[in-house]
């Protein structure tokens, strides 16, 4: 087989995946960028080129800035917590403990539940006066509180739901990585007298960095694409306290039918994710060690 034949054969194998990627990822991104420079067509009035007017409107939009701030707080609260909890659970269920299979199933179960079902379950937990959380706190003499209706607690309640939903999913990747490590490493460390904590810090965790990088990228994306829970639990309230960027884009595009402004918001969101992803790879590249 000549080199040209190999090259052609390789591209033919890549063609189906490349076509789907271009059709459902690259083309929508380019089309969204293009539409962000036009006005929204309404009735018989066609869209007209407006340049950067949509982006100027975005800079003067107080709800956008509030949604961005909410999203940054949401990401800061959910990403480290979900990754740390996932790693802790993976280390635990990777050991020789009784009921290990049941624990793995219990930790992973929230991941396979539909997001709408999860949101409705937690709405019941947070319901004032007769919700599960109210019943537990009431047993200790605490007063009633509207958890999802208060600006001080609504966003934190969404964070708890997100961590509960995602930690089990990230645990699977850490568990697979832990099980792929050679047991000879632990045996050699034990012979040298290294403690479990020292072995985890100096050997296990560095070898988990490729998995951590993968999980971190997914966690960041998930933190900026939450819509389902907000629609069911808070609808962005109270007073936009739980309005995140993607939910705000959904509201602009499908409730107010301002597709051009929604396209501009989408491009800003994509730019934020791109910058964050580049920063992650740049900062963590030297810390990633492959076996």
Residue 186 has pLDDT above 90, yes or no: no
- What's the fold here for domain 61-287? MetI-like fold (1.10.3720)
CA distance 195 to 192: 9
Query: Residue 118: enclosing H or E segment and its boundaries?
Result: helix 115-126
Q: What pLDDT sits at residue 16?
A: 92
The sign of the dihedral angle between the CA atoms of 213, 215, 219, 221 is: positive
pLDDT digits (tens, 9 = 90+) for 211-249: 999 999 999 999 999 898 899 999 998 999 999 999 999
Average pLDDT over residues 52-73: 94
Percent of the chain with pLDDT over 90: 55
Question: Taking all residues of the chain, what is their mean pLDDT, rounded to a whole number?
Answer: 89
Q: What are residue 45's DSSP bridge partners?
A: 42
Q: What is the pLDDT of residues 89-131, one digit of tens each?
A: 999 998 878 777 888 888 888 888 888 888 888 999 999 888 8
Taking the domains of the chain in order of start, what are their residue ranges?
61-287
How much of the chain is in helix, strand and coil states, percent to nearest 5?
75, 0, 25
Give the pLDDT score at 138. Answer: 85
Residue 289 above 60 pLDDT? no
**Residue linked to tokens 């269920």:** 93
Please give the Cα distance from 71 to 43 (Å, whole number): 34
Q: Which residues pair with 38 in a beta bridge?
A: 49
- Model confidence at 196, pLDDT cuts 50, 70, 90, reads confident
Task: Return the bridge partners of 42, or none.
Answer: 45
Cis peptide before 284 (omega within 30 of 0): no
Q: Is the peptide bond before 245 cis (omega within 30 degrees of 0)?
A: no
Q: What percentage of residues in the chain have a pLDDT greater than 70?
A: 98
């Amino acid at each position: 087989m000549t080199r040209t034949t190999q090259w052609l054969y390789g591209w033919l194998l890549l063609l189906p995946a490349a076509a789907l990627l271009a059709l459902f990822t690259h083309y929508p991104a380019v089309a969204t960028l293009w539409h962000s420079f036009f006005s929204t067509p309404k009735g018989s009035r066609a869209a007209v080129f407006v340049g950067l007017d949509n982006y100027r409107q975005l800079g003067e939009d107080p709800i956008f800035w509030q949604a961005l701030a909410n999203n940054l707080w949401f990401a800061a609260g959910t990403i480290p917590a979900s990754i740390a909890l996932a790693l802790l659970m993976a280390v635990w269920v990777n050991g020789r403990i009784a009921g290990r299979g049941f624990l793995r199933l219990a930790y992973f179960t929230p991941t396979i539940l539909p997001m709408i079902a999860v949101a409705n379950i937690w709405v019941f937990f947070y319901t004032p006066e007769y919700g599960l959380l109210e019943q537990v706190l009431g047993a200790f003499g605490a007063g009633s509180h509207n958890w999802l209706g208060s600006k001080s607690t609504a966003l934190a309640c969404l964070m708890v739901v997100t961590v509960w939903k995602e930690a089990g999913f990230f645990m699977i990747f850490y568990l697979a990585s832990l099980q792929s490590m050679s047991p000879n490493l632990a045996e050699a460390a034990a012979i040298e007298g290294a403690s479990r904590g020292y072995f985890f810090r100096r050997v296990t965790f560095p070898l988990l960095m490729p998995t951590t990088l993968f999980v971190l990228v997914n966690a960041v994306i998930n933190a900026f694409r939450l819509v389902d829970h907000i629609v069911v639990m808070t609808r962005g309230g109270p007073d936009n306290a739980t309005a995140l960027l993607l939910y705000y884009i959904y509201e602009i595009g499908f409730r107010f039918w301002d597709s051009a402004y929604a396209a501009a918001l989408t491009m800003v969101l994509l730019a934020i994710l791109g910058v964050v992803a580049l920063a992650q790879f740049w900062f963590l590249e030297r810390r990633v060690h492959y076996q």
